[in-house]
Amino acid sequence: MAQDALGNEVSRASSATLQGIDDFVTGFLGYEKKAANIIAAADGEPDAVLANTYAGFTWMFLEADGAKAMAGKYLARAEAAAAGANERERMLLAQLERWIADDIPRVQAIGDELVARYPRDLTSVKLHQYFSFNRGDAANMLRIAKAAEAANADNPHIHGMLAFGYEQLHYLETAEREARLALKLKTKEPWAQHALAHVMLGTGRVAEGVQFLAEAQRTWVDLNSFMYTHNWWHKALFHISQGDHAAVFDAYDNHVWGIEPSYSQDQVGAVSLLARMEVAGMDVGNRWEDVANHMQGRGRDTIQPFLTLQYLYGLARAERLEADELMRAVEEKAATSSAFDRVVWQEVALPAARGVLAHARGDYAAAAKWLSVANPRMAEIGGSHAQRDLFGQLLLDAHLKLGNWAIAQQMLEMRRTWDPDGVPVSQALALVNERLGTAA
């Protein structure tokens, strides 16, 4: 029987289709564009169950309206041919069906069984981490990677996944060890590079982070837009800390925005970076307009709270009416969500949305009120520590704008513990201490 690039059995596939499956497997793990080749492979062999299942996954990763309908086309093909599928393929097919139905707990339950039975199926490990990440469940991210560790000790991708799981749990030394092991096994392992950038950001190693990513970027060839723009986004965060505005604008204009501007992750990366640039005192000109032009269709997008909040901020900063439409959509989602989603939308996303909308429109009192409610629980909306720090920065900025100097002083001192030499932090502290009369 045919096997994929990791040694997992494939029940039915021509040589061309098998190449498409391998492109998906290795491209998904390595964040490479070739993963999308699975669409053509599935179209070329409609009764190849695994190829069509993976094509359905690929559409679902779009994280946008219309993705379910397209994924459903490949689901129907795979289901029609499922009699000839092996057990692993039938389980993957069941995951796709449940994913389209928004039954994420069942998707994860099947994923647990898949990894237990087929630990060399690293795409299933990666998919499991994806869903856990979207819930802010770092412990589950690490658990599933550790479940596959022994069977994949020689594979750099498992160490990259372990590194990020450890980092999100604040086990920074272990995270760095795993990331460096992954990079020893394969220099071009962008997820391990990403995890190590997180470690350096969280430990204030800013100059080292710039140097590391400057060297790593030589390997960012043929990456998908998410991984390419996101690692450049991390580099930009280091430059913000250094006060190197020219480098930040270069990163934004040439590497973070404009690669795949219709894609969800590229959009929120741009929103997040522009917001941080403004908080750090940079004039971003008309850049909000361009991002908002590509987010016009997000006015009802409540697929993921982490994404929605950033769409909302970007649309509001560009003074688009879609921001009000999206705020109403958040309120509706909070009132009508399934039991699985209800708590995060009602108790976290809704107050956070009110806060970010208020900040974007200059109502800093309301921003401080609502973001203070949401921020202690923001992990529940998904995203990483570094990504969710945006909301902490908006809250801090609101307090500074309101002249709440004592509160701002405490928040800034906390920030100094992981950004001790940060230029924006130092400048804000100088202002706060002057106003408080506590300047040295």
pLDDT at 404 (0 to 100)? 98
What is d(CA 308, CA 64) in angstroms, rounded to the nearest whole number? Answer: 11
pLDDT in the model for residue 92: 98
The label of the residue with tokens 């009132």 reads 335
pLDDT at 340: 85
* CB-count exposure of residue 347 (10 Å: 0-12, 13-18, 19+): middle
**One-letter amino acid for residue 203 of the chain:** T
Rounded Cα–Cα distance for residues 161 and 168 (Å): 11
- Tell me the mean pLDDT in the region 335-360: 95
Does the structure show a pLDDT above 80 at 1? no
pLDDT score of 396: 98
pLDDT of 116 > 90? The answer is yes
Q: Among residues 362, 330, 363, which one has the least CA distance to residue 347? A: 330
pLDDT tens string 192-221: 999 999 999 999 999 999 999 999 999 999
Say how many C-beta atoms besides its own lie within 10 A of residue 137's C-beta.
Answer: 18
What would the pLDDT profile of 286-328 be if each residue is shown by its tens digit? 999 999 999 999 999 999 999 999 999 999 999 999 999 999 9
Do you know the residue count of the chain? 440
The whole-angstrom separation of Cα 3 and Cα 60 is: 25
- Rounded distance, CA 195 to CA 178, Å? 9
Quick: pLDDT tens for 391-408: 999 999 999 999 999 999
- Distance between CA atoms of residues 11 and 414, nearest Å: 55
